[in-house]
Amino acid sequence: MDSVKQHKLMSAKGNAVGKYRDLIQIALFVAIAYTLILVFGPQAYSLESEANMKMQVFYHMAAFSPAIACVIVRYSFKEGFKDDILFPKFIGHGKAYLFSIALPLIFGLIACVLVTIVLGAGFTFKSEGGAFDAVLNNMLMSVRFYYAAFILLGEELGWRAFLYDKLEKHCGLHGAVIIGGIIWGVWHLPPLVCIGLNFGMDAPGFPVTNVVLMCVFCIPAGAMMQLLRKMSDSVIAPLIAHAVIDTVCNALISMFLNEELVAGKQFAIGCCLVAASLLTGIPCWIAMVRMNKKSLPLEGRMASGGRQLCADRSGDRCQPKADG
Amino acid sequence: MRGLLYRDMKCVVYRTFWMFLYFIIMDLIVTLLFKLANTDEAFKIYPVLMTGMGALFFIMIQMIPGEIMKSEEKKEWKYYLISTGLGVEKIVAERYLMTFLINFATYVFAYLLMIIFFQLADSSTTALIFSLANGLYLCLLSLSLFIQAFEMPLGYRFGGAQSDKMRVAILLLFLLPFAVYFLFGDIEWLAGENGFYYRYREYMENPELLTSAALSYMENISRIAVFIFTLIPHLLVLCYYLSYKISCKVYMKGVKDNGFREAA
């Protein structure tokens, strides 16, 4: 009996140490990511300074701040990149990659419809040079997709490949989505304040309203990305989704919405984007909860042979327990 | 798959490291010389020279994927790889991923070197010249990925040595029309009085001319040309994917045939 008690005590101690270790990791990660974005962000997004190379460096440093934080924390805690989530696992995850394009497109279409309803902005196909010009503009935007994917790798490596997984271990799925969304939203502070990202600089209660709305936007959007990350067991699917939102959805909005009616109403459009994010993200959140329920608990998996695939591989990595 | 990536990295790490270091030192020497000269005329040529050096680095790094391919030429290694149970698709996918990573790392490295040394030299490089240099690097990245996409299925099917010969033959076939054109065609635009060859010297001396020429070219470019240009990245992705699929199909056949050839 003593040995059993001792074993339990040891494992409890181990869990407590592991928990504190993860919490320190999260805190360090957030501190590094925020420091970098607050140092480089204001200069990268400054409207006053003209575009030059220094600004490009600052912009890249700001955009890659979550990835830099992730690498520093993983290496300083000797964690390494054991999770394999950097590989695009196309084989057997076709559905996830299909969703990574379909879900952002649904988000973009809902945003267009909402803007039309709220502003009466005219959901019509517009292009001065005809259909060819419209196609050309979209093709140019689609080329930007590759660059956006490269830049957003900096974000996805930090948020989806590190923060959300760590948070889910301690706060559960709902906690991870909410806290992760808030951290992700507040991280956008420099572009929100400097260039009025998404909501404009003439929003009522600027900049507090912008930050709050950005957090509300990021919570369901984070759920969408995290669902894709779990479905594909890789960060490449959320990366594609994020890049589609930033490029193709913008092209959709600029192609279909009447510019004259939309001009100067950035705050209203931003609110429509938040609503579209809620409408797309909440079903994803629910789907994630159902996915988690379907997957057996760790003990169950071990009891049934230990070789079943984990639907949720974000937390424990199905490590077999030592006998006895 | 991670293990294979590690193995490939181990194969080329020293060569790549020395290559990277060599270019850092070369860039540093050139920058120091320009700093010592410290004349406006010198700094006008500086960005063009540095961009050219970056392009040269890009060309030199192309030998690295070929080195990896040749390092596993031995049939025993290929049989061993198959026996690991990874599957042909994963084995080939790793090589394609590695090739992409090498090329992309080269692009990022050249881009960073350009930023750092332009800042060190404190040259009055305009944003447009910087964008043009970046555009050149992106073109080189696309071209090198295209060439690799073409070369890898040949390498898997016929082995490294055979694929080298075939690559040269295809390259000659590709260059033949250009050679005929440059020998017998109208090249007034290149070597005439107002041709590019003479304007090039002006561009070197006065980069602002290059800026204005680039801008006017962009304004006059036809919409169809822009459309074709925007198609290139998508076609490149498609090419790379098709090349991967072909490599998967010919992999086993290549292992058997090359194995017998080596045995004979």
Three-state secondary structure string covering B139-196: HHHHHHHHHHHHHHHHHHHHHHHHHHHHHHHHHHHHHHHHHHHHHHCCCHHHHCCCCH
Is B119 within 8 Å of chain A by CB? yes
Shortest alpha-carbon distance between residue B107 and chain A (Å): 12
Does residue B215 sit within a domain?
no
Please indicate, yes or no, if residue B141 is contained in any of the structural domains.
yes
Contact assignment for B118 to A53 by CB distance below 8 Å: yes
Q: Give chain B positions within 8 Å (CB) of A49.
A: none
**Residue B83, in any domain of the structure:** yes
CA distance A226 to A240: 13
How far apart (Å, rounded) are the C-alpha atoms in residues A111 and A279? 10
Average pLDDT (B157-170) is 76
Per-residue model confidence (pLDDT) at position B33? 84
Nearest CB among A51, A91, A136 relative to B226 is that of: A136
Say yes or no for a CB contact (<8 Å) between B115 and A53: yes
User: DSSP label at A295?
Assistant: S
Q: Is residue B194 part of a domain?
A: no
Is A306's pLDDT higher than 50?
no
Contact B233 A54 (CB under 8 A): no
* B23, part of any domain: yes
Determine, yes or no, domain membership for B160: yes
DSSP letter, residue A257: B
Q: Is residue B261 pLDDT above 60, yes or no?
A: no
Q: What is the pLDDT of residue A323?
A: 37
pLDDT reported for residue A17? 65
Cα–Cα distance, A261 to A282 (Å, whole number): 30
The pLDDT-based confidence of A49 (bands split at 50, 70, 90) is low
Residue located via tokens 């639907």: A311
Count of domains observed in chain B: 1
Positive or negative, the CA dihedral B219, B220, B223, B226 is negative
CB within 8 Å of chain A, chain B residues 177-236: 223, 226-227, 230-231, 233-234
Please report, as a single letter, which amino acid is at residue A270. G
- Chains A, B: CB contacts within 8 A come to 39
pLDDT at B125: 59
Q: Per the domain annotation, does B126 fall within a domain?
A: yes
Query: For residue A137, what is the nearest residue in chain B, using CA coordinates?
Result: B227
Measured between beta carbons, the chain A residues lying within 8 angstroms of B115 are: 53, 56-57
CB contact under 8 A, B223 and A133: yes
Residue range A76-97: mean pLDDT, rounded: 77
| C-alpha span between B81 and B78 (Å, rounded) | 5
Would you say residue B246 lies in a domain?
A: yes
| Rg (alpha carbons) of chain B, rounded to whole number | 22
| Backbone φ, ψ for residue A123 (5° rounding) | -90, 70
pLDDT the model gives residue B263: 47
Lowest mean pLDDT among A68-72, A154-158, B130-134, B255-259: B255-259
- What is the distance of C-alpha A50 from the center of its chain? 30
Distance (Å) from the C-alpha of residue B138 to the closest C-alpha of chain A? 11
Q: Which residue has the higher pLDDT, B220 or B108?
A: B108
Rounded Cα distance, B140 and B135, in Å: 9
Chain B residue whose CA is closest to A132 = B223
Domain carrying residue B121: 2-185+221-263
Confidence (pLDDT) at B74 = 66
ipTM over the 0.85 cut-off: no
**What is the share, in percent, of chain B residues with pLDDT greater than 70?**
82
Other CB atoms closer than 10 Å to residue A238's CB: what's the count? Answer: 29
